Structure 1
Amino acid sequence: MTDQLNAREAGAAVDPEAAASAAHTMTVVADDATRRGATHHVSETEAFAASATAAADAADPGTQDATLRGPWDRWVPEGPARTWVNWLSVAVSIYLLISAVNLIGGGFKAATGDQAEQLFAFASNPIVALMVGVLATAATQSSSTTSSITVGLAAGGLPLEIAIPIIMGANIGTTLTNTLVSIGMIGNKEDFRRAFAAATVHDFFNLIAVAILLPLELMTGYLETLSGLLANAFSSVTGLDTGRADLIGTATEPIENAMAAATSGVPAPWGGILMIAVGIALILFSISFVGKVLKVLMVGRARRVLHTAIGRGPVSGIASGTVVTALVQSSSTATSLMIPLAGSGTFTLRQVYPFTIGANIGTTVTAFLAALGLSGANASFGLQVALVHLLFNLSATVIIFGLPFLRPVPVRAAQWLANRSAENKSFAAMWVLGVFVALPGLLIAGTLLF
């Protein structure tokens, strides 16, 4: 009995950072094994499985239980009750996280009024239209909203040559949300490194997609042509009643309404700015808290079950991202939910990567359903824009993820930026402000001036 107690005390003395470092080392070894497996013609799925297994077994579960301490350990006795409290706190933290994202979007709308939608009036050429898509989506915190607005404008006569780059810009702008979410783990260098890499892999994938497909579209018009053919095939089903239950919006509406009521007496734009500040504070709190709890929960069987559901391989990862995003009707929400899992070490960057690609595909469902509900002479143009969104994301998946020499580029770029940002937080600030604010704003302003 004494030996058991001594052993437990010795395990409890292990530095959690050392355990995390050991897990990180094993992940690197697993990645090396993956590369060697590719040389010996090991399948991609087997490589993912090997990586997942190595990550899960990096430390003995019993040791993890002994060394990792959750926020409730002091208050709730060990046993099933503590497990239930931990899982309940994860659910509440995720609810607060999603509510915080919606608060930021609502705050931007309150602070800017109709100016976000008025941005579309500046879309005079494809490059400016691309930047309008980035800024509008960053302001509304929803690519689905930007896509739906663009669908309506296309049905009202917006040229497709302008609508298509706006859709591409929306894909870039939507990645701001999970980048902001990753900042919630900035207090722990290694957690932030993993979380920021998981967030920015989405940035780099979409930036590369636009860099390849926008010039291709301007030269060939293949998206406009192919979407037109498909729109004609679907033209008989427009004008449908596509009323959809927005489960996420309904669930988080009470917090947004309460905050809107609390700031109703504050003059514009300060009421909206206050909502944004509260949203950011909620993100920082919820991500920090859920990260600590997940480190305790995501061991043993729970970790293996989650890896089986999402992290078994590229195909299952893309499928999971597509389905989850289609259900919650927001790629921002779906990818943001992966950030604490990545930051806590539950998933590796190579496992998060396919999920984010699937989220790109799943988010097109919202605009497609909105287009099916249009009626009138120009309804087919709205449907065509929605199909462009789908075809663009499918093309990006086939080209970037399908070509072996392009597939690792977003991962390597995200790792490079995350390493720099973990050592110097100004890199993260410059990335966010540069990509999502300064560059789009300067290009639009330059067009207006010259």
Structure 2
Amino acid sequence: MGANIGTSTTSTIVAMGQITKKEEFRRAFAGATVNDVFNWMTVVVFLPLEAATGYLYYLTKAILASVEFPKSREKRKSLQLLNTLTKPLSNLFVQLDKGVLSDIAEGKEGASQKSIIKQCCKWKYWTNNSSFPRMYSNTTYFDNTSSLHMDDGSTKICITKCNYMFASVSWSDTTVGIVLLIITLILLSACFFTLVRTLYSVMRGQILAIVRKFINSDFPGIFRYLTGYIAILIGTGITMTIQSSSVFTSALTPLVGIGILSMERMYPLTLGANLGTTFVAIIIALSQNADDMPIAFHVALCHVFFNISGVLLYYPIPMTRLPIRMAKFLGNKTARYRWYSVAYLLVLFVILPAVVFGLSSISRIALVVVSVPLIIILLCIAVINILQTKRPDVLPVKLKTWKFLPSWCRSLEPYDKVIKQICCKCCKQK
């Protein structure tokens, strides 16, 4: 569930590349956040439901009971198409020690203290220590760098050091990770900026009108209702092919920004991307050895049915497609207050997860005591807002508007003024 939320941040960051043009930014941010909103709303509903009933666990367990797994202990190679293209380039920047990662995942003692950055790319084993080459006879023995004594009495020695950008630096894993994240975001922004510029130069005049009409048009007659479901299947198929929902949804975001793709078409494509990325987990689960395959397959199926549950809840009935309306609301807000996009990312993807993690680390009771009243207040505000718009006659006079509250409680204008003053002072402008 957390992975679903986290993977949606990429397209939101990409949307900020169009922040200089108000209308484009409004559409792009709405198109990007429709994935965020869908994932958040799905988690809000199904996380408590899973905690209370365990329906995902028991449903997938029942399915697994009817599946016969292979007896062979041989590990199969999973089909990872995108990895084949990207691995040669990514290996120039950093390489990870999968053995250490496996040890950490299995909870082996001391594994978390080791570096996951790979130092040695080729080892050689000697079963008889007396047969060591003379050049290795006085080697200092330490793990993952020079040589290592094995449990069976043999010794392995590193004969080829890895050669990549971060191989010779003495930084910690965290520092390397932060630097790689920054490099990735810069490259990602540059790629999508180039994509937008290219689309601008190609999609002009009549060509733009034709492409927009073709992409956003519905099937004729009685098949009109199936258009969205076909879009879901297209999104699923493309994501299964490229094996990355972030890449697919991030590529669609600029198209929404420049007006080629409508929000109503973006939404089912996004849902398809969410479904497609779950089948990637199934492919990887099927590549495990016989001992690991059942639990890996169990986790993958939970991911599949979680996303299917979200699609069934928020798509088939038009009035339940709340993520579209909420994303448009966010797009309008960010078009008026540009800083709102940064605040949105920080609050939803940094501050809120950190607070929830901190409270849950203290105790589950602390999390419930803080979150339940907050959720009730937010629900009351949402209900009053709806009644103010559709049935103001049923509300007391005081609640027909929010004017009885101070301005900082009902409007972003006070915050906007402060932020503008700070920005102007930083830029030394009036």
Q: TM-score range by the shorter chain?
A: 0.5 to 0.7
Q: Which residue of 2 aligns with 1:355?
A: 269
Task: Note the alpha carbon deviations across 1:293-323, whole angstroms, 9 max, x for none.
Answer: 2133235457746865686431121011100
Equivalent residue of 1:243, what SS? coil
Q: Which residue of 1 aligns with 2:53?
A: 220
- Give the drift of 1:401: 0.6
- Give the drift of 1:247: 2.9
Task: Note the alpha carbon deviations across 1:331-384, whole angstroms, 9 max, x for none.
Answer: 111111111211121101111110000011100111112222334456423322
Match of 1:318 among 218, 222, 232: 232
Q: Which residue of 1 aligns with 2:323?
A: 410
Looking at structure 1, the residues matched to 196 and 268 of structure 2 have their Cα atoms a distance apart, in angstroms, of: 22
Looking at structure 1, the residues matched to 177 and 300 of structure 2 have their Cα atoms a distance apart, in angstroms, of: 30
- Give the drift of 1:242: 4.9
Normalising by structure 2, we get a TM-score of 0.60
Structure 1 gaps of 5+ residues are 1-167
Task: Note the alpha carbon deviations across 1:102-126, whole angstroms, 9 max, x for none.
Answer: xxxxxxxxxxxxxxxxxxxxxxxxx
1:380 aligns with 2:213: no
**Contact map agreement 1:350 1:411 (CA 8 A) in 2:** yes
Describe the shift of the 1:251–1:379 C-alpha distance in structure 2 as closer, same or farther (beyond 3 A). closer
Match of 2:82 among 245, 248, 251: 248
1:438 aligns with 2:351: yes
Q: Which one has the bigger helix percentage? A: 1
Q: Which residue of 2 aligns with 1:344?
A: 258
**Contact map agreement 1:330 1:363 (CA 8 A) in 2:** yes
Q: Which segment drifts farther, 326-335 or 214-223?
A: 214-223
Looking at structure 1, the residues matched to 330 and 53 of structure 2 have their Cα atoms a distance apart, in angstroms, of: 33
Structure 2 gaps of 5+ residues are 95-163, 219-226, 364-430
Equivalent residue of 1:234, what SS? coil
Q: Which residue of 2 aligns with 1:53?
A: none
**Contact map agreement 2:70 2:290 (CA 8 A) in 1:** no
Superposition RMSD in Å:
2.6
Match of 1:257 among 91, 96, 99: 91
Looking at structure 2, the residues matched to 237 and 384 of structure 1 have their Cα atoms a distance apart, in angstroms, of: 15
**Contact map agreement 2:216 2:261 (CA 8 A) in 1:** no
Counterpart residue identity of residue 395, structure 1: S
Looking at structure 2, the residues matched to 275 and 318 of structure 1 have their Cα atoms a distance apart, in angstroms, of: 33
**1:264-343 residue pairs with structure 2 within 5 A?**
264-266=167-169, 267-268=171-172, 269-299=174-204, 300=206, 304=210, 308=214, 312=218, 313-343=227-257
**Contact map agreement 2:75 2:290 (CA 8 A) in 1:** no
**1:51-70 residue pairs with structure 2 within 5 A?**
none
Q: Which residue of 2 aligns with 1:199?
A: 32
Q: Which residue of 2 aligns with 1:55?
A: none
**Contact map agreement 1:311 1:351 (CA 8 A) in 2:** no
Q: Percent identity?
A: 33
Match of 1:182 among 6, 11, 15: 15
Equivalent residue of 2:288, what SS? coil
**Contact map agreement 1:235 1:380 (CA 8 A) in 2:** no
Task: Note the alpha carbon deviations across 1:124-162, whole angstroms, 9 max, x for none.
Answer: xxxxxxxxxxxxxxxxxxxxxxxxxxxxxxxxxxxxxxx
**Contact map agreement 2:235 2:272 (CA 8 A) in 1:** yes
Looking at structure 2, the residues matched to 249 and 216 of structure 1 have their Cα atoms a distance apart, in angstroms, of: 35
What is the count of residue pairs matched by the alignment? 282
Normalising by structure 1, we get a TM-score of 0.57
**Contact map agreement 1:232 1:380 (CA 8 A) in 2:** no
Counterpart residue identity of residue 329, structure 1: Q
Looking at structure 1, the residues matched to 168 and 334 of structure 2 have their Cα atoms a distance apart, in angstroms, of: 39
**Contact map agreement 2:192 2:251 (CA 8 A) in 1:** no
Q: Which segment drifts farther, 336-345 or 318-327?
A: 336-345
Q: Which residue of 2 aligns with 1:78?
A: none
- Give the drift of 1:263: 4.5
Looking at structure 1, the residues matched to 305 and 217 of structure 2 have their Cα atoms a distance apart, in angstroms, of: 25
